[in-house]
Structure 1
Amino acid sequence: MKKVFLILVLPLLAFATVHKFYISVTNIRYSEKSDALQITSRYFIDDMNTVLKERYGIDAGLGSDDETQVGQEYLEKYVRAKFSITRNGDSVDYTIIGKKYDVDVIILFVEVPRIDLPSVKRIGVQNEILTDLFDEQQNVVHFNIEGKKKSFVLLKSDTKGMLNL
């Protein structure tokens, strides 16, 4: 009887020690039609809710029926504090044009208007989102601009990536 119990319970205990992974994916591409960088970032909703609770003391309720306007405002505040884009070494402004939810992921849509690509020698990204709360956070960034592709894995210790054009 003890053997049967161990055989049934042991696999359940193995799942109890499975470690959650912390990763995001950001795609950056150039739209010739609008002369803009179009950026799409995906983060786990529960991680974003946790960081907003830890940093600002609010229950944002992102992705739920309890989502608040204040939560959305603090989400934008947090993203602007932790995510930046540079053109030729100079910071550029961006617009958060929207968000949507897909199962357990929040997808943020960001645009950098009037990029003037012919004058651009390099585009940089700094992504510290969630690295301030989760040491294991990996922010994967994929550049695809004018046929030049480059990918980075940004970590807490190395939060910047650059594409030379």
Structure 2
Amino acid sequence: MKSFKKFLILLVLPLLAFSAAHKFYVSVTNVNYSEKDKAIQITSRVFIDDLDKLLLERYDVKSKLATEEESPLADEYLEKYLRSKFVIEVNGANASYDYIGKKYDADVVVFYIEVPNIDLETVKSVQIENEMLMDLFEDQQNVVHFKFGFDKKSLVLVKSRTKGMLKL
């Protein structure tokens, strides 16, 4: 019986060590050119719980995103934060963008952003600076996928390298 208890402990202990959920801090951003709309269209997917924590710590807003009790201030502060941490440059110059809005998809917020009036023939480079959540989570990674016609590039942005560029 004593050896069975030792065996059971040796069997269960490693399982308990790995049962705690490992949290990944990651966002995924897709940057595409729409020929039809003559615009750079961007979607960025960020975990809801990370944004809830961010809004509480940075702006003292209990946002309760994606719930019936969502704060009426949530969208305003999300856009404010997005504009302070997400910068787009076209041909080396800051490009103003329209914040279209957000939607919820399972456990993520999907942000919609557009840079209108872009003629692809004049675009030589597009740079994204994405510092979202890097001020809150040390190991935050922001993945960026560029797709402009046949040109594709994917980058992982981290705190030490927050900018990524696609040269056309």
Letter in 2 for 1:12: L
State how far apart, in whole Å, the 2-side matches of 1:162 and 1:5 are.
53
Partner of 1:22: 25
- Asked if residue 127 in structure 1 is aligned to residue 130 in structure 2, the reply is yes
Deviates more, 1:98-107 or 1:120-129: 98-107
Q: Could you tell me the percent identity over the aligned residues?
A: 53
Match for residue 98 of structure 2?
A: 95
SS at match of 2:19: helix
- Describe the superposition over 1:75-98 as per-residue Cα deviations: whole angstroms up to 9, x where unpaired: 110000000100111111111112
Structure 1 unaligned runs (5+)? none
CA distance in 2, matches of 1:161, 1:144: 13
1:46: which partner in 2?
49
TM-score, scaled to structure 2: 0.91
Which of 4, 8, 12 in structure 1 is aligned with 2:16?
12
Count of aligned pairs between the two proteins: 164
Tell me how far apart the structure 1 counterparts of residues 124 and 14 of structure 2 sit (CA, whole Å).
Answer: 57
Q: Distance in 1 between matches of 2:13 and 2:157?
A: 38
The alpha carbon displacement at 1:119 in A equals 1.3
* Residue type of the alignment partner of 1:59: K
CA RMSD for the aligned pairs?
1.5
Does the aligned pair in 2 maintain the 1:62–1:71 contact within 8 Å?
yes
Amino acid aligned to 2:156: V
Q: 1:66 Cα deviation (Å)?
A: 1.5
Does structure 1 residue 72 correspond to structure 2 residue 69?
Answer: no
Shift of 1:2: 3.5
Q: Does 1:112 find its partner at 2:115? A: yes
| Residue 150 (structure 2) pairs with residue 147 (structure 1) | yes
Q: Report SS of the residue matched to 2:54.
A: helix
SS at 2:28 equivalent: strand
| Alpha carbons 1:60, 1:72 under 8 Å: kept | no
Question: What SS is found at the alignment partner of 1:62?
Answer: coil
